[in-house]
């Protein structure tokens, strides 16, 4: 199968596949299902895994694979704790669950509330635990993640406070239509590029929030399902000259479609007319109010 393009993950020096495996997809799967998914990832050459302590069974499911193939992956996890003691304990627990001595990247998870931000950056905050883990060789790099419309401004604020190695936030064609979000996103990207900070995107194949009908995917949002639509959404992200990364969908059954789309990127993204048509046909809508 075609190889997925690799790009330098910011100043880390690692050449990561454009699609980073979003291991939230392992939150509620059996080990057998996780094993089949990991085999698929390796077939596509995906070499970067992004998980979190709060993703259910994800770190446990990764454990048997990291025990054998740790050197083949850039491994990232997250702590959602805000204080030093709790974050420190969670980082150590993540290492134990994944059966590794260290991870490449630890991220402060979903840091987008003023109170959380003050605690995490304050004395005896989670950032101190992350820095200590880096000093002890338990992690190599430190990042920050977030969801929601306020995240570009919060990330910008975070980068004024600490020189993070990576950021993660939502980005798709619909969000670009939100002028305030797009303006703050662009301002953040300029700063990140100036510093060599890796930019990870999420929610690329979002169709919109779930309605009242039956949910057909493990994702917390309704995803695009037709391969042609997924192709356009994924290729739109891949076509940015800033070279963002895309964290894959949080459902192992949707994952093959995203990997397939990424592997077939020809260097040219969809036209503006194609993307506008998807909006007009209501195939994509805003996830955030």
Per-residue pLDDT, 280: 84
How far apart are the C-alpha atoms of 97 and 242, rounded to whole Å?
Answer: 34
At residue 40, does pLDDT exceed 80?
Answer: yes
**pLDDT averaged over the chain?**
94
> Is 102 inside a domain boundary?
yes
Angle at 5 between CA 22 and CA 183, to 5 degrees: 65
* pLDDT on residue 153: 97
| Closest to 79 measured CA to CA, from 114, 106, 116, 61 | 106
pLDDT above 70 for 49: yes
With b for 16 or more beta-carbon neighbours within 10 A and e for fewer, the 220-249 pattern comes to ebbbbeeeebbbbbbbbbbeeeebbbbbbb
Q: What is the mean pLDDT of residues 128-145?
A: 98
Q: Which helix (H) or strand (E) holds 107?
A: strand 103-108
Distance of CA 154 to the CA centre of its chain: 17
Q: What angle do CA 85, 200, 49 make, to 5 degrees?
A: 70
Contact between residue 131 and residue 163 where contact means Cβ atoms under 8 Å apart:
no
CA distance 78 to 94: 9
Give the domain range for residue 220.
6-280
What's the confidence (pLDDT) of residue 284?
Answer: 82
User: For the residues 215-219, what does the mean pLDDT come to?
Assistant: 76
**CATH code for position 39:** 3.20.20.100
Q: Taking the model in full, what pTM does it have?
A: 0.95
Query: What number is the average pLDDT over the span 122-151?
Result: 97
**89 in a structural domain:** yes
In a domain, 1, yes or no: no
pLDDT of residue 162: 98
Alpha helices per DSSP H over the chain: 31-44, 58-69, 84-98, 114-121, 126-135, 151-161, 173-176, 179-195, 227-238, 255-263, 272-280
Tell me the pLDDT band of 215, cut-offs 50, 70 and 90.
confident
**Confidence (pLDDT) at 74:** 98
Assess if residue 131 is contained within a domain: yes
**Whole-angstrom distance, CA of residue 230 vs CA of residue 113:** 31
Q: Is residue 156 part of a domain?
A: yes
User: Any residues with CB less than 8 A from the CB of 228 and at least 6 apart, and which?
Assistant: none
Beta carbons of 263 and 214 less than 8 angstroms apart = no
User: Number of structural domains, the chain?
Assistant: 1
Asked if residue 62 is part of any domain, the answer here is yes
pLDDT at 51 over 90: yes
Q: Quick one: pLDDT at residue 289? A: 62
Residue 227 within a domain: yes
Which of 102, 118, 100, 106 has its CA nearest to residue 76?
106
pLDDT in tens, 246-266: 999 999 999 999 999 999 998
């Amino acid at each position: 199968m075609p190889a997925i393009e690799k790009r330098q993950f910011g100043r880390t020096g690692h050449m990561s596949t454009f699609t980073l495996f979003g291991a939230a997809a392992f939150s509620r799967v059996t080990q057998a299902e996780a094993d089949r998914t990991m085999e698929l990832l390796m077939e596509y050459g995906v070499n970067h895994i992004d998980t979190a302590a709060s993703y259910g069974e994800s770190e446990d499911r990764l454990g048997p694979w990291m025990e054998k193939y740790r050197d083949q992956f850039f491994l990232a996890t997250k702590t959602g704790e805000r204080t030093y003691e709790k974050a420190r304990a969670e980082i150590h627990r993540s290492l134990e669950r994944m059966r590794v001595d260290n991870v490449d990247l630890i991220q402060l998870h979903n840091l987008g509330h003023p109170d959380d931000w003050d605690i995490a950056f304050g004395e005896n905050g989670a950032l101190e635990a992350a820095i200590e883990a880096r000093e002890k060789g338990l992690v190599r790099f430190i990042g920050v993640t977030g969801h929601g419309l306020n995240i570009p401004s919060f990330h910008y604020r975070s980068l004024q406070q600490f020189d993070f190695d990576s950021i993660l936030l939502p980005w798709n064609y619909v969000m670009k239509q939100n002028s305030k979000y797009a303006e703050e996103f662009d301002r953040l990207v300029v700063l990140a590029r100036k510093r060599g900070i890796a930019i990870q995107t999420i929610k690329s194949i979002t169709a919109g929030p779930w309605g009242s009908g039956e949910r057909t995917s493990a994702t917390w949002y309704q995803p695009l399902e037709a391969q042609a639509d997924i192709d356009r959404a994924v290729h739109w992200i891949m076509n940015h000259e800033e070279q963002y990364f895309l964290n894959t969908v949080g459902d192992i059954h949707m994952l093959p479609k995203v990997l397939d789309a990424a592997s077939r990127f020809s260097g040219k993204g969809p036209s503006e007319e194609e993307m506008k048509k998807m909006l007009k046909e209501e195939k994509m809508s805003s996830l955030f109010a």
